[in-house]
A and B are shown apart, each in its own frame.
Chain A
Amino acid sequence: ETGVTQTPRHLVMGMTNKKSLKCEQHLGHNAMYWYKQSAKKPLELMFVYSLEERVENNSVPSRFSPECPNSSHLFLHLHTLQPEDSALYLCASSQEKRGGEKLFFGSGTQLSVL
């Protein structure tokens, strides 16, 4: 148990659906992250929030929309996804948003887009 909880664990959605991924951290951290892991690729950073403010958006398509209502919760809203968006989506948190910080990951949401 890492202190970072993601729901749902698995999600299958059609290209016209709208769904949301949820992440909650119980560690008192100030920074939260969304990562994407596609098959045979490194983990790719998507978004970073520090103290509820988005500080980084790594050229992610607008069909992915993050939301951070408070420092413990992070959402990733999905709409009109493509089959190539099928991947493992990982949420992580760290004490601060700076180099040298350890990230604590959730178990991920395995997303399949049909």
Chain B
Amino acid sequence: DQQVKQNSPSLSVQEGRISILNCDYTNSMFDYFLWYKKYPAEGPTFLISISSIKDKNEDGRFTVFLNKSAKHLSLHIVPSQPGDSAVYFCAASAMGSQGNLIFGKGTKLSVKP
């Protein structure tokens, strides 16, 4: 049973518009969430994270929102650029434990010029 779900396998967005990638989780013990970005033939690279004591974290064009009551988080990219085209993975862990990162299946984002 998947504890971290990314229900959209793909997303296509026009350059300059906002990209919104969604992630849902089932384990209420998760209290730290990360987004990773992966280009073809490369490993995932860390993008942005958020702990459960916050509901928003912003880094440049990237903002992550956390809704604990809904067990939902989202990554907003604005404005989207063609170089953002990649697979985005949502991951979660429990900080207070020896928790491992649990990953979603990923969402492939295509930003069209």
Q: Which of A42, A90, A97 has the most CB of B within 10 A?
A: A42
Name the residue on B nearest A98 (C-beta): B98
| Number of A-B residue pairs having CB atoms within 8 Å of each other in the complex | 64
Identity of the chain A residue whose Cβ is nearest the Cβ of B6 in the assembled complex:
A42
Known contacts A99-B93, A107-B42, then 19 further A-B pairs from the complex at CB < 8 Å, ordered by chain A residue: A6-B43, A42-B2, A42-B89, A43-B44, A92-B43, A99-B95, A100-B51, A100-B93, A100-B95, A100-B99, A101-B93, A102-B34, A103-B101, A105-B43, A105-B44, A106-B43, A107-B41, A108-B42, A108-B43
What string of 1s and 0s marks CB contacts (under 8 Å) between B87-103 and chain A?
A: 00100011111111111
Q: For chain A, give the interface size range.
A: 20 to 34
Q: Is A53's beta carbon under 8 Å from chain B? A: no
Known A-B contacts A98-B98, A99-B96, A99-B97; A43 and B103 likewise in contact (beta carbons under 8 Å): yes
Report yes or no: A56 in contact with B100, Cβ–Cβ below 8 A. yes
Which B residues contact A (CB, under 8 angstroms)?
Answer: 2, 4, 31-32, 34, 36, 41-46, 49, 51, 89, 93-106
Contact assessment for A104 and B95 in the assembled complex, using a CB-CB cutoff below 8 Å: no
